[in-house]
Structure 1
Amino acid sequence: MIAFTRGVPATEAFPVEALGECAASALAKYSSQILQYGSFRGFGPLREFIAAGHGLQPDQVLLSQGALQIVDFVARSLIAPGTTVLVEQPSYDRVIKVLRRAGATVVGVPLQEDGMDLTACEDLIREHHPLMTYVVSDFQNPSGTTMSEAKRRAFAALAEQYGMLVLEDLPYRRLRYTGDDISTIQSMIPDRTIELTSFSKLLSPGLRVGVALGPQQYMDRLGKTAQDTYITPALLPQATVFEFIDRGLLPAQIEKLHNLYRPRLSRLLTTLDAEMADLGTWARPEGGFFVGVTLNKSVKAETLIAKGLEKGIQLTNGRDFFADGRGDTFVRLPFCALTTEEIDEGVRTLAQVVSSL
């Protein structure tokens, strides 16, 4: 069975030996801090390192059990029932669920090849008066698109004009395999942006080290929710990550990931071109974990999933990524945890399934 479902790292990407050494070293150096209750904001040296890289104070950085938990803190701290939140359409399905659980009205903004349709975005802002917009600006989950520099600046101007908060999620930013980095929205409007990232895709999801940074007023509110949730987060994984960085190991690890994932993305795009050119359209990402395919013909997601299972591929329900539930013809293809041979076979099978329907 070839799993086109979860966007997980390849197990061979984990720096197992180095993480073991870093964990042992962290225990030796910081045992009195990391084995005791500590700051609800997370391990101090790691927060200081991240803050310095963004020109912020350490208390403007919050570390938690993965970035999705911080989305939950945002939802519980800032959102009242009935509050409108804009998301890209399609968007990360778990964030949509977390926002709705907090009582938010989630409205989708159509996504184009270079980011959100900003004309539609402004129309929706005027209609719904949203508190904030959630955006994955680099190698978006689930589509793989990247918002262009011009659109980021125009979107930042909209946020300023209408007094809107931005929740910018950047889990894949360091996983650019070709091309040049684009400035973050946070760097353009730091007083109006909460930036999220994590070490899940770079080191290990099991470490559960998520990061949020932003204006002090918002970080204090998120921190209070964090404190009330767990008193203090898991400090050993955070200290392990800091030790990994402090030893200068992160650049080589990121290069390793680039070398591992770049050919898998290239193979996926090549195979899609060969097998599905007449069946759908898709973005051409320069990094990240996903390529999202929009099929040309109408099909029910349940039918597609069931037929895929019969033929040996697992697919995610495309409707989950759409705030309006209209994603039947959307297929998210994660590639990082698959070999090039599995990618070839999986895409060929998908093409056969789609053609048969």
Structure 2
Amino acid sequence: MKISLTKKKDQSLPEQIFQSISDRILSGLISEGEKLPSVRKLAEQLGVSLVTVQKSYEMLEKKQLIERRQGKGSYAKRSVKRIEEENPYNWQNMIEDFLPRAQTWKEMKSFSRQHKYNLSLANLAHELLPVEHLTEISTLVIQDEPTILSSYSPGPGDQILREVVSEYLLDEGLEVSAEQIVITSGAQQGLELIARTFLGEGDVVFVEAPTYIGIIDILKSRGVTIKTIPTNEDGMNLNVLLQMCEQFSPKFIYTNPTFQNPTGTILSEKKRRRLVEIAQAFHVIIIEDDPWGELRFEGSTKPMKSIDEDGHVIYLKSFSKPISPGFRVGCIVADGKILNKLKAAKSVSDLGSPLLNQRIIARFIQSFNFEAHFKKMNNLLLLRRDLLIDTLNHLDIEGLRWTVPCGGPVMWITFPTHVNTEHLLIDCLKQELLFLPSAMCYPNEPEVNHLRISYGNLSLKTYKEALEIFKEIVKSHMESLDPFTEDTPLF
């Protein structure tokens, strides 16, 4: 277990050790019941005093993340079974790893269990996607270009797809050349390439609070210092951001400005321009993540990259949500030396994304009526959003609040502060219902009284069933709570 310690004014050594171990426990990298290193052994490994490690373990015990047994050691909590004695792979604990957190992996494991009512996965249901047309195009591409099956793609991506994407982005209000585009295996790979290329231990990155769980895992794997910027109904609080830029020296600002994940909010046009100005003033790079900007119910907003004149914005686009998650095609748009370095990093990473997938997506974009498709899809998503709002109104819970997204497939719901949505999730799982608890969406001290619901992942029939079940579980859970006693956090 590799723990990196730095001299931070705002976080003591015990707090850093606590954060690192708690991240591993909560994301499943340290298994339930697994024995932790002794205080003495960990102190020797990290080069710190016994008192420092002792304080960290006391913090973990206070948060109910470990159980300390007299004369036997400390164990990851939630299971008292001595699984380390029964597991034949325990010797692998001696192999040092550099993976500090894996909430994305934990969340993906829950998807693979095929919960009947999965309101957690921010995806679109089969019935909302252009599956039939994709099937036809896939067959035609293989028939017309069989040599693709025995060919690699250029590292930065297939030239045909890059030119097609350039035209596609123009319709979205972003004018870029094919040479500015790097094709990736989904936007997640784009984020990982940016982090691996430009971020190292000690760098400072600002993210929204709450934020996309995938970016937290990536940033923590690089050993960076993550600072959070609060958000409100129109996106990131730029007054706080400006103060933070003056106090720290951030290298990147990560934002999901269009139907933000997980809140569904949108950064206003005025704020977009101001954010770019702040980045220019402090020589900071903005990572603009745009997974589903096309899924819009009302209004119109151009990407921030469209007003970037000197390369302060790296733009990420995913085609998983609007077209198909099965093809895992996305892109990075950048400029100058940053672009060249990302092209090199992509080539080193995997020699290029699968050529077949790229050609299918290219021909699909060229032949498909997106205007009609998005109009139909967005009307169906709007219906689902309104069904969720109607369900929440019928709960009649004092202090219950929620965002009202103008697009995208997710909504953020805030319960009174005495509610822990991790505990609510336990009740929901008993009936095969899953949502995303808010604790996963914070890189540091989490807030536990929120949750994210995806209203696009299920068929309409199953979705309506899920909302009825969710309503009854929430009512029952709220009746069981004492509003004057704050629910003990699991995160």
TM-score w.r.t. the length of structure 2 is 0.69
Q: Which shifted more, 59-68 or 256-265?
A: 256-265
Give the 5 Å matches for 1:321-332: 321-332=441-452
Aligned partner of 1:189 among 291, 308, 328: 308
CA distance in 1, matches of 2:471, 2:253: 37
Is residue 119 of structure 2 the alignment partner of residue 4 of structure 1?
Answer: yes
Q: Which shifted more, 127-136 or 251-260?
A: 251-260
| Residue aligned with 1:108, SS | strand
Aligned partner of 1:342 among 449, 461, 465: 465
Q: Which shifted more, 291-300 or 221-230?
A: 291-300
Give the 5 Å matches for 1:40-189: 40-52=155-167, 53=170, 54-177=174-297, 179-189=298-308
Give the 5 Å matches for 1:255-274: 255-274=375-394
CA distance in 1, matches of 2:427, 2:347: 46
Q: Which shifted more, 334-343 or 94-103?
A: 334-343
**Paired amino acid for 1:199:** F
Evaluate the alpha carbon distance shift between residue 276 and residue 45 of structure 1 in structure 2; reply closer, same or farther with a 3 A threshold.
Answer: farther
| Kept in 1: contact 2:263–2:411 (CA 8 A) | yes
| Residue aligned with 1:337, SS | coil
How far did 1:350 drift?
A: 4.9
CA distance in 2, matches of 1:346, 1:154: 43
Q: Tell me the equivalent position of 2:110.
A: none
**Paired amino acid for 1:40:** G
CA distance in 1, matches of 2:231, 2:248: 18
| Kept in 1: contact 2:193–2:342 (CA 8 A) | yes
| Kept in 2: contact 1:320–1:327 (CA 8 A) | no
How far did 1:39 drift?
A: 0.8
How far did 1:290 drift?
A: 0.6
**Paired amino acid for 2:342:** L
Is residue 470 of structure 2 the alignment partner of residue 351 of structure 1?
Answer: no
| Kept in 1: contact 2:209–2:442 (CA 8 A) | yes
CA distance in 1, matches of 2:341, 2:236: 29
CA RMSD of aligned residues (A): 1.9
CA distance in 2, matches of 1:18, 1:2: 27
What 5-or-longer segments of structure 1 have no aligned partner?
none
CA distance in 1, matches of 2:281, 2:335: 18
Evaluate the alpha carbon distance shift between residue 308 and residue 70 of structure 1 in structure 2; reply closer, same or farther with a 3 A threshold.
Answer: same
How far did 1:59 drift?
A: 2.0
Percent identical pairs in the alignment equals 27
| Kept in 2: contact 1:135–1:166 (CA 8 A) | yes
| Residue aligned with 2:430, SS | helix
- Kindly provide the CA deviation profile for residues 227-249 of structure 1, in whole angstroms up to 9, marking residues without a partner as x: 11111211111111111111133
| Paired residue total | 356
Q: Tell me the equivalent position of 1:20.
A: 135
What 5-or-longer segments of structure 2 have no aligned partner?
1-115, 482-491
Is residue 346 of structure 2 the alignment partner of residue 223 of structure 1?
Answer: no
**Paired amino acid for 2:255:** V
Q: Which shifted more, 29-38 or 255-264?
A: 29-38
How far did 1:311 drift?
A: 5.1
| Kept in 2: contact 1:279–1:351 (CA 8 A) | no
How far did 1:96 drift?
A: 0.9
How far did 1:5 drift?
A: 1.6
Aligned partner of 2:453 among 325, 329, 333: 333
- Kindly provide the CA deviation profile for residues 91-146 of structure 1, in whole angstroms up to 9, marking residues without a partner as x: 00011111111222111100101001111111111222111111111111101111
CA distance in 1, matches of 2:203, 2:228: 14
Q: Tell me the equivalent position of 1:316.
A: 436
CA distance in 2, matches of 1:341, 1:100: 38
| Kept in 1: contact 2:148–2:356 (CA 8 A) | no
How far did 1:40 drift?
A: 0.7
| Kept in 2: contact 1:84–1:106 (CA 8 A) | yes
TM-score w.r.t. the length of structure 1 is 0.94
CA distance in 2, matches of 1:127, 1:143: 27
CA distance in 1, matches of 2:146, 2:246: 52
| Residue aligned with 1:174, SS | coil
CA distance in 1, matches of 2:137, 2:408: 26
How far did 1:176 drift?
A: 0.3
| Kept in 1: contact 2:187–2:316 (CA 8 A) | yes
How far did 1:302 drift?
A: 3.3
- Kindly provide the CA deviation profile for residues 30-55 of structure 1, in whole angstroms up to 9, marking residues without a partner as x: 44456412211112112112234233
How far did 1:323 drift?
A: 2.1
Evaluate the alpha carbon distance shift between residue 294 and residue 351 of structure 1 in structure 2; reply closer, same or farther with a 3 A threshold.
Answer: same
Structure whose CA Rg is larger: 2
User: Which structure is richer in relative contact order (CA contacts within 8 A, separation 6 or more)?
Assistant: 1
| Residue aligned with 1:19, SS | helix
Is residue 202 of structure 2 the alignment partner of residue 202 of structure 1?
Answer: no
